[in-house]
Amino acid sequence: MSGNRLLYSECLRIYEIEESFIESLRDVGLIHVTGQEDDRFIEYDDLSDLEQFIRWHYEMDINVPGIDALRHMLDRVRLLQSEIEQLQNELHFYKALQP
């Protein structure tokens, strides 16, 4: 391990996953792999996402395009929830101004 990164080969060993799975995630932009050849790393910030993708893939049998679609959908839901919360706060503010 180095700094805030996990050695690519250690990631494969720890999570007991195929290299092709991580490469597929990298190819669609879901995981960022840095470095070259034997000195490749995965950032710690990506590990929680990777763990979720591993569960979706191995426990729920969701393929990489499905994982990409789910991730996009969840990001969109989080954004919409944030917008709803902001609008509710504004509504409460304006309701408080009424006599």
34 Ramachandran zone, left/alpha/beta (phi>0; psi -120 to 50): beta
Give residue 1's pLDDT.
Answer: 43
Domain of residue 18: give its range: 5-97
Give residue 38's pLDDT.
Answer: 75
Give residue 3's pLDDT.
Answer: 62
Q: How many domains does the chain have?
A: 1
- Which residues of the chain register pLDDT less than 50? 1-2
Q: What CATH number corresponds to the domain at position 86? A: 1.10.1660
